[in-house]
Chain A
Amino acid sequence: AQSVAQPEDQVNVAEGNPLTVKCTYSVSGNPYLFWYVQYPNRGLQFLLKYITGDNLVKGSYGFEAEFNKSQTSFHLKKPSALVSDSALYFCAVTHRGAGNNRKLIWGLGTSLAVNP
């Protein structure tokens, strides 16, 4: 069964420092991996995805993620954190269900706090 783990409930980083939010996955077959961000009282916003090709994926708001097949990881990174990056981050993997459904299987989320 497909699953995603986000080992850290919370990550704290100082503004201007690099940030990493960790994600590991367990899938059968090729993984299609996603990162979404959730701000308070707002919906999930798509950041980036890995389908195939280059292991370093660039996304919105200066975020990037590195796919590592041997470590089954897809960590989210940003070179210089902003206070406005403080939010809840979710890693997800697609699972092929009935009727061509590619539902997302989600981690529990990691709360990122960027301190001024």
Chain B
Amino acid sequence: GAGVSQTPSNKVTEKGKYVELRCDPISGHTALYWYRQSLGQGPEFLIYFQGTGAADDSGLPNDRFFAVRPEGSVSTLKIQRTERGDSAVYLCASSSQPGTSTDTQYFGPGTRLTVL
């Protein structure tokens, strides 16, 4: 596609439920990033994929959060036992020259997650 797409655009769930957020990166981009943006804050890094593997998951807040990218393209962020504090906009970005100084991340529109 022309840009990064994310689905759903909005997700409302109840505390304790499981959710999956999907990201479809720009075609051919090998690097994929997940960030979380809380209200009034800048984005906060969660996890980075290079190809199929999670090369850096140091930003995941706890073991309720997990992400996969099984075929090196689409990625799914999974949150178990959701808590109200998980409410935020989850952003996905992709890039074509990871690890280089000229690399630029391009972002999707985000998924707004609300945990009631």
Contact = CB atoms under 8 A, between A and B. Distances in A.
B48 A97 contact: yes
Given A43-B4, A100-B55, A108-B41, 6 more contacts: A44-B91, A97-B58, A100-B99, A104-B35, A107-B42, A109-B40
Contacts, number: 77
In terms of DSSP, what is the predominant structure of the interface of chain B?
loop
Interface string B12-37: 00000000000000000000010100
A44 B103 CA distance: 16
Interface string A81-109: 00000000010101001111111111111
Interface residues of A, number: 30
Nearest to A46: B104
A70 interface: no
Interface of B: 4, 33, 35, 40-45, 48, 50, 53, 55-56, 58-59, 91, 93, 98-110
